[in-house]
A and B are shown apart, each in its own frame.
Chain A
Amino acid sequence: GAVVSQHPSWVICKSGTSVKIECRSLDFQATTMFWYRQFPKQSLMLMATSNEGSKATYEQGVEKDKFLINHASLTLSTLTVTSAHPEDSSFYICSAINPAGSYGYTFGSGTRLTVV
């Protein structure tokens, strides 16, 4: 079946540094990927839609310069949290559309980011 690999699964970084999270579709090509953020015991908040070969579409209120998204190939999208601060600590989840299945959204296992 369709698999999305997200890496790392957890990361701790110092305030002011940048962190890159990778989202790979392992057995299919994903022209569109989505990045979500989830706070403890809360729902998923869509941050941006990532399209291969073009600029990401950010949701209202999401800082484009803070959360850099790159979708350079059909199997890889990356989210870089720049100049991270403690308030950026969260669970980040990616999702890819698997064109082989109708409405085939496949989710990564998530990345727990802690900024200290």
Chain B
Amino acid sequence: GNSVTQMEGPVTLSEEAFLTINCTYTATGYPSLFWYVQYPGEGLQLLLKATKADDKGSNKGFEATYRKETTSFHLEKGSVQVSDSAVYFCALSAAEGGKLIFGQGTELSVKP
């Protein structure tokens, strides 16, 4: 079946450090890929998405590129801020309007 695997957290970085959170997936066909962010006690917010191979999603300084050859969708940011502290979820959808399958989440803590 379809699945998503993320690097384990927590990840602790200093402000302005470079961030990478790895995400790989297993799926048949051509899924769409997403990164969501969850702040404490809140629901999920879409951070970025990519719907086909080689697409790059970007938002608020975060980027991720859909790599079909490595089945990956790693999240990167060049310079993190304290306000980026949250839990990040990688997810896939096998079909438009279909259910989302989430990775286990990676907690990011950015220290001043």
Contacts and interface: CB of A to CB of B under 8 A. Distances in A.
Q: Do A and B come from one complex?
A: yes
Interface of A: 4, 6, 32, 34, 41-44, 46, 49, 93, 95, 97, 102-103, 105, 107-110, 112
B100 A34 contact: yes
Interface in B6-36: 32, 34, 36
Classify chain B's interface size.
20 to 34
Secondary structure type dominating chain B contacts: strand
Interface of B: 32, 34, 36, 41-46, 49, 51, 89, 93, 96-97, 99-105, 107
B103 A43 contact: yes
Given A42-B105, A43-B105, A44-B89, A105 B100 contact: yes
Contacts of A49: 99
A97 B51 CA distance: 16
